[in-house]
């Protein structure tokens, strides 16, 4: 427990790149001609590869050694540096005001809100999840970081000028008792940044209150996030209640979150599924066209 150290970032980064390419450990190891247990050890920070293997890894994943070591995040079109490992270290060492300053300095470089959420905040949360899963940080550390990031999302969002609101309204929500709210909260901020009137209602809102809110505020699109697989049925019930309410048949429902995929979203009764922020934003634009 709590055995995290800075070198672990190398392993976390390796794992992240592999997952991004949609490969399991065996497939990636086979393709690089190294043992899958060796790759597992590198990813878990148990062993460190020698120079020859390092070059093999960099060449297979098509990244520089610099990228593997320094966690320099390549942005969409322009290269802006954000050092994930530095930010994670600040959070894990409970240097919260330095961590916030670090993010705010990154904002000053002209990065967009989408880039900030996609390339800085989201990967850090996944890294924290991996460390927790591997029992290398405590539940308390995970909770403290989640709280800190929630606060940071609210603070940085205020730094970005919102466009004029369009008349269409979006509601961002998670089904009871889902506690994973950071993704949907960021999505709501991104919608506001794109000129939509988006409401984020947080956790544990009873369905009946949501229905009344949707009617009273003429909500056209409801965005629902499901992370914990056990909340699947609750999402289904919420969608049913919306679709079966008088006058809400035309309300469009977009669903996402890690419990949802292309194959199961229709079973929930949702109209659309998106797997990431950009796609979700595009889906909203398509609906409103």
Q: Does residue 103 touch ligand B12 according to CB under 6 A?
A: no
Out of 190, 224, 235, 242, point to the residue binding ligand B12 (CB under 6 A).
224
Q: Cis (ω within 30 of 0) for the bond into 177?
A: yes
Contact stretch for ligand B12 (CB under 6 A) within 76-84, 97-105, 138-146, 235-243: 138-146
User: Using the rule CB under 6 A, is 217 a contact of ligand B12?
Assistant: no
Residue 142 makes contact with ligand B12 by CB under 6 A: yes
β-pair type (219-225, 169-173) = parallel
Task: Give min distance, CB of 252 to ligand B12, in A.
Answer: 11
251 binds ligand B12 (CB under 6 A): no
Instruction: Tell me: does residue 180 bind ligand B12 (CB under 6 A).
Output: yes
Q: Is 92 in the site for ligand B12 (CB under 6 A)?
A: no
Q: Of 44, 112, 138, 146, which one interacts with ligand B12 (CB under 6 A)?
A: 146
**Residue 181 makes contact with ligand B12 by CB under 6 A:** yes
# residues contacting ligand B12 (CB under 6 A): 35
**Hunting for tokens 């969002």 — which residue is that?**
157
182 binds ligand B12 (CB under 6 A): yes
Contact between residue 284 and residue 196 where contact means Cβ atoms under 8 Å apart: yes
Buried b (16+ CB within 10 A) or exposed e, 69-78: ebbbbebeee
Helix 36-43 to helix 25-32 angle (10° resolution) is 110
40 sits near ligand B12 (criterion: CB under 6 A): no
Please tell me whether residue 175 binds ligand B12 under the rule CB under 6 A. no
- Among residues 90 and 153, whose Cβ is nearest to ligand B12? 153
Q: Which of 211, 100, 225 is closest to 159 using CA atoms?
A: 100
Are residues 270 and 254 in contact, defined by beta-carbon separation less than 8 angstroms? Answer: yes
Beta-ladder partners of 272: 254
Write down how long the chain is: 289
Task: Give the start-end residues of each E strand in the chain.
Answer: 169-173, 197-200, 219-225, 252-256, 272-273
Answer for which of 200, 257, 265, 268 binds ligand B12 (CB under 6 A) is 257
Binding site for ligand B12 (CB under 6 A): 122, 125-126, 128-129, 133, 142-143, 146, 150, 177-184, 186-187, 223-225, 227-229, 254-258, 274, 276-277, 280
């Amino acid at each position: 427990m709590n055995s995290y150290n800075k070198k672990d970032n190398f392993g976390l980064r390796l794992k992240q790149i592999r997952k991004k390419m949609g490969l399991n450990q065996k497939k990636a190891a086979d393709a690089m001609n190294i043992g899958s247990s060796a790759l597992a050890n590198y990813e878990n920070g148990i062993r460190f590869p020698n120079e020859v293997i390092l070059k093999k890894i960099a060449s297979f994943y098509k990244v520089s050694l610099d990228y593997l070591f320094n966690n320099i995040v390549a942005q969409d079109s322009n290269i802006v540096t954000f050092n994930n490992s530095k930010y994670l270290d600040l959070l894990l060492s409970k240097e919260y005001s330095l961590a916030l300053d670090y993010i705010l300095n990154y904002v000053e470089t002209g990065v967009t809100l989408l880039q900030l959420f996609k390339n800085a905040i989201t990967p850090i949360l996944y890294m924290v999840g991996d460390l927790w899963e591997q029992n290398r940080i405590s539940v308390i550390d995970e909770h403290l970081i989640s709280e800190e990031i929630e606060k940071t999302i609210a603070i940085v969002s205020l730094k970005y000028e919102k466009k004029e609101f369009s008349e269409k309204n979006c509601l961002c929500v998670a089904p009871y008792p889902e506690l994973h709210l950071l993704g949907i909260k960021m999505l709501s901020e991104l919608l506001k940044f794109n000129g939509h009137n988006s409401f984020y209602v947080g956790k544990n809102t009873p369905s009946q209150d949501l229905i009344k809110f949707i009617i009273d505020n003429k909500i056209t699109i409801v965005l629902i996030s499901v992370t914990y697989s056990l909340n699947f049925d609750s999402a289904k019930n919420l969608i049913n209640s919306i679709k079966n309410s008088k006058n809400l048949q035309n309300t469009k429902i977009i669903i996402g979150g890690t419990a949802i995929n292309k194959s199961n979203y229709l079973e929930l009764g949702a109209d659309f599924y998106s797997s990431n922020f950009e796609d979700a934003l595009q889906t909203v634009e398509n609906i409103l066209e």
